[in-house]
Amino acid sequence: MKPLRPFPFPLNIGTDICRISRIYCLLTGSRATKFVNKILAPEELAIKDGSVDVIVKSVKAQNDTPRTILSDISQKAGKFTQLHDEIATKDPEMWKCASIMAGRFAVKEAVIKAHPYRRLTFHDVIIERMQVPGQRLGSGPPIARVRAGEGDPMDKTAMVSISHDGDYATAVCLGFHGTGPDKRGKEGGKEEEKDKEKEKEKEKEKERKMRVIW
């Protein structure tokens, strides 16, 4: 065989799939709060509106009044995994929470896979909404914030996409690994300063030429 040419860009792809009914089972169980706290970072839990807040409130209500829907369906059919439509109909609020959490689980796994050079945990990945000009804050497409590693001056952005279909949530992540602005550290900062100085010199040179012409 001919020599293998390396991929020319410092990019990594990660993907994952998660079963929503499995997450529903966890959210309606005795360890729901522990599971949510394991997957969601403190910054995500601190948001007092939006989908995460709905999940936290629903899980708290579940702890106060345990649901019996899952056990009823299990007794009737033997396997709840084949009856996600019925679960979604009988318990739409918690099913929506399970769908959101399944998406978060899948996208964080995808981000972790797209950054194999880092030992990331779920709390190292924070899912945010990209701010789009002209739209309200938090209404844009999702992006992943990856916490800065040792020696990195900035957190890193990873591009993500989340999809839901039936009983499954899928996610894909495009991660960057290279000497980008978040990896160059002090040397990168010095280079940027030099570039700015060069731009200033160019502007001054233009002004001098204009004066000569006039």
Burial class (CB in 10 A: 0-12, 13-18, 19+), 44: buried
User: What is the C-alpha radius of gyration for the chain, rounded to an integer number of angstroms?
Assistant: 24
Pick the closest to residue 157 from 185, 115, 187, 193 (CA basis): 115
Query: What's the pLDDT tens digit per position in 44-55?
Result: 998 876 677 778
Question: Of 3.40.190.10, 3.90.470.20, 3.20.20.70, 3.30.110.30, which CATH number belongs to 11-178?
Answer: 3.90.470.20
Instruction: Determine the pLDDT at residue 195.
Output: 64
For the chain, the structural domain boundaries read 11-178, 184-214
In order of 57, 141, 149, 189, the CA distances from 193 in angstroms are 48, 33, 23, 6
Out of 56-70, 94-108, 150-164, 169-183, which region has the weakest mean confidence (pLDDT)?
56-70
In a 13 Å sphere around the CA of 204, the CA atoms on its Cβ side amount to 6
Q: Residue 65 — pLDDT band, cuts 50, 70, 90?
A: low
Query: What's the pLDDT tens digit per position in 7-45?
Result: 999 999 999 999 999 999 999 988 999 999 999 999 999
Query: What's the pLDDT tens digit per position in 161-200?
Result: 999 999 999 999 999 986 554 444 444 455 556 666 777 7
Q: What is the DSSP letter of 3?
A: P
The stretch 61-81 carries a mean pLDDT of 55
